[in-house]
C-alpha cells in the first residue's frame, strides 16, 4: 500500500490504535475488515484485497502477547454463549443434490484467493433446513472438518433465553469472538429468532437481535464460513435468508440414503444378506436420527446377549414408528403373536412377499403363509 492516498476515516484509525494497544486482536480484525470494505467502495480493490489477505494469514500471537481469550459468557448465567465442538466421527449420508451443494461450497472456499482476485468470491453462507434429526448439525461439523476449520456453535435458543435486552449483546459478543479465527460458525436453532415474535417479548427486541445477526454476518471477514440451521426456513427474516447464498434442504432421507444408513448403523457396513434394502424400503419418512437409534440399539442387544442381530425386533420397531409410536427394538425375541402382527402389517401395508417377510422375521415361507391362512386362503 505504498504511495497511494487512502481515504482514512479518523474514527477507524482511532479505534484501530486503541484495539491494537489493548491487544484486542478480535477488534483489530473487525476494524480492519471494515476499513477493507471502505477501501473497496472507494475503488481501492487491490489494497482491500491485501488487507484481507493479511488478516486472514496472520494468526493471533496469543502466547507472545500473554493475551488469553476466554469464551464469551452470558452476563446473568455465566454460561458460555458459543462452544467449540469436535469434528464429527460418524459419516453423513446425503442425497445427490445435497452432496452437490456441499462440494460446491468446499470448492469455493478452497479457491477463495483466486476467486476474490477476480472479484468473484461470494459470501460463504450455507443455510440448512429440515425437520429434527436429519443431520443439519452433523453436516455443519463435516463441512468444518473437510475445510480444516475450528467448529464453533452458537445456539440461538440458549442465547435468547437470557435477560431481556442482553440477547443482542450476547449475539454481538459471539460474532466478535469468532472474528479472525478462520472458523466455521454454526448458527444453530435459528427458529429461536422467529419465536421472539411471541408476545413475551417486545417486537423491538426481535428487531434488535435480527439486526445484530445481520450486522455480525456483514462484518465477518470474508473467509469466515457461516452455516445457519433451521427447522422452519419460512419463518426466517428475509434479510437473513438472503445472506446465505448456499442452501441445502435436508428432508427425510430417500430410499437409497436410508438403505445406506441401515447398512452402516445396523450392520456396521457388513450386510451380507442385503437386508438393508428391505429396511430402506420400509422406513420411509424416518429421519437419520431414528434409523441410527434403532440400528444401534439392536446392535447393543446383540453384543449384550452375545448373539447375532435380531432383525425381527428391528422390523417391529420400524412398523411401530410408522404407526406413529416412537419405539426402539425390544431386547427379547418377538413371540409368535408379535411376529404375526408384524407380518400382517408388512404384507398389508408394505406389500412384502412371504419370502421377504420370512427373511425379516426369521421364519420359513410356509410359516409366514400359515399366518395368513385364515385371512386370504394362503396366498
Ligand atoms: N443424514 C444423516 N447421515 C448420518 N447420520 C445422520 C443423518 N441424519 C441424522 N443422523 C444421525 O442423527 C444424529 C442427529 O442429527 P443432527 O443433530 O445433525 O440433526 P439436526 O438436523 O441438527 O436435528 P435438530 O433439528 O433436532 O437439531 C446425528 O448425530 C447422526 O448420528
Ligand atoms: Mg441440530
For the chain, give every domain's residue range.
10-58, 83-249, 255-376
- Parallel, antiparallel, or unpaired: how do β-strands 83-85 and 151-155 relate? antiparallel
Q: pLDDT averaged over the chain?
A: 87
Q: Phi-psi region for residue 278, left (φ > 0), alpha (ψ -120 to 50) or beta?
A: alpha
CA distance 168 to 226: 18
Least Cα distance to 156 among 143, 144, 171, 169 occurs for 171
* Core vs surface per residue 39-70: b (16+ CB within 10 A) or e: bbeeebeebbbebbeebbeeebeeeeeeeeee
pLDDT attached to residue 139:
97
Model pLDDT, residue 67: 46
Give the percent of the chain with pLDDT over 90: 55
Please name which of 118, 128, 112 lies closest in space to residue 221, comparing C-alpha atoms: 112
Instruction: Give the ligand 1 atom nearest the CA of 257.
Output: 1
Q: Which three cell numbers stand for residue 197?
A: 415474535
How far apart are the CA of 202 and the centre of ligand 1, in A? 33
Q: Which of 23, 119, 118 shows the shortest CA–CA distance to 64?
A: 23
Residue nearest to atom 18 of ligand 1 (CA): 135
Q: Which of 143, 229, 289, 294 to mutate to test the pocket of ligand 1 (most atoms within 8 A of CB)?
A: 289
- Residue 296: CB within 6 Å of ligand 1? no
**Residue 62: per-residue pLDDT:** 43
Ligand in closest contact with the CA of 128: 1
Q: Decide whether any atom of ligand 1 lies within 6 Å of the 92 Cβ.
A: yes
Task: Yes or no: say if 136 and 186 are a contact pair by the CB < 8 Å rule.
Answer: no
Task: Calculate the CA 201 to chain-centre distance.
Answer: 28
Nearest alpha carbon, ligand 1 atom 11: 289
> For the chain, which ranges sit under pLDDT 70?
1-8, 26, 56-69, 161-164, 196-202, 374-379
Q: Can you give the pLDDT at residue 22?
A: 78
Identify the pLDDT of residue 38. 87
- Please name the residue that has the C-alpha cell 440451521: 229
The grid cell for 39 is: 477501501
pLDDT (0 to 100) of residue 61: 47
**What is the structure's pLDDT at 201?**
60
Closest atom, ligand 1, to C-alpha of 231: 25
Give SS3 for 212: helix
Sheet containing 125-129: give its strands across: 83-85, 151-155, 184-188, 225-230, 125-129, 246-249
Residue found by looking up cell 491494537 in the block: 20
User: Architecture of domain 83-249 in CATH?
Assistant: 3-Layer(aba) Sandwich (3.40)
What pLDDT score was predicted for residue 157?
A: 83
What's the chain's length in residues?
379
* Cβ–Cβ under 8 Å, residues 171 and 51: no
Q: What residues form DSSP beta bridges with 185?
A: 152, 226
Amino acid at each position: 500500500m505504498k504511495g497511494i492516498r487512502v481515504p482514512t476515516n479518523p474514527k477507524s484509525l482511532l479505534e484501530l490504535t486503541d484495539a491494537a494497544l489493548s491487544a484486542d486482536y478480535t477488534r483489530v480484525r473487525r476494524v480492519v475488515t471494515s476499513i477493507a470494505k471502505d477501501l473497496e467502495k472507494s475503488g481501492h480493490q487491490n489494497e482491500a484485497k491485501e488487507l484481507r489477505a493479511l488478516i486472514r494469514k496472520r494468526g493471533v500471537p496469543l502466547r507472545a502477547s500473554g493475551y488469553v481469550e476466554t469464551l464469551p459468557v452470558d452476563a446473568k448465567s455465566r454460561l458460555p454463549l458459543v462452544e467449540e465442538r469436535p469434528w464429527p466421527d460418524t459419516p453423513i449420508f446425503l442425497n445427490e443434490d445435497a452432496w452437490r451443494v456441499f462440494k460446491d461450497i468446499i470448492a469455493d472456499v478452497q479457491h477463495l484467493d483466486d476467486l476474490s482476485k477476480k472479484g468473484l468470491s461470494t459470501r460463504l453462507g450455507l443455510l440448512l433446513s429440515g425437520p429434527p434429526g436429519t443431520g443439519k448439525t452433523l453436516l455443519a461439523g463435516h463441512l468444518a472438518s473437510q475445510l480444516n476449520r475450528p467448529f464453533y456453535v452458537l445456539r440461538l435458543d440458549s442465547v435468547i433465553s437470557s435477560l431481556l435486552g442482553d440477547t443482542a449483546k450476547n449475539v454481538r459478543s459471539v460474532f466478535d469472538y469468532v472474528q479472525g479465527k478462520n472458523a466455521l460458525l454454526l448458527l444453530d436453532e435459528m427458529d429461536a429468532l422467529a419465536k421472539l415474535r411471541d408476545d413475551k417479548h417486545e417486537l423491538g427486541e426481535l428487531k434488535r437481535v435480527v439486526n445484530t445477526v445481520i450486522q455480525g454476518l456483514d462484518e465477518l471477514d470474508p473467509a469466515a464460513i457461516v452455516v445457519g440451521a433451521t427447522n422452519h426456513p419460512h419463518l426466517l427474516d428475509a434479510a437473513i435468508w438472503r445472506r446465505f447464498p448456499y442452501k441445502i434442504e435436508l428432508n427425510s432421507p430417500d430410499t437409497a440414503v436410508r438403505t445406506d444408513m441401515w447398512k452402516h448403523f445396523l450392520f456396521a457396513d457388513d450386510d451380507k444378506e442385503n437386508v438393508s434394502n428391505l429396511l430402506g424400503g420400509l422406513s420411509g419418512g424416518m429421519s437419520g436420527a431414528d434409523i441410527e437409534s434403532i440400528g444401534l440399539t439392536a446392535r447393543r442387544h446383540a453384543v449384550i446377549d452375545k448373539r447375532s442381530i435380531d432383525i425381527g425386533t428391528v422390523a417391529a420397531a420400524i412398523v411401530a414408528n410408522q404407526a406413529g409410536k416412537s419405539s426402539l427394538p425390544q431386547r427379547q425375541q418377538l413371540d409368535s403373536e408379535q411376529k404375526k402382527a408384524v407380518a400382517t402389517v408388512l404384507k398389508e401395508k408394505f406389500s412384502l412377499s412371504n419370502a421377504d417377510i420370512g427373511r425379516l422375521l426369521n421364519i420359513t415361507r410356509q410359516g409366514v403363509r400359515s399366518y395368513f391362512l385364515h385371512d386370504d386362503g394362503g396366498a
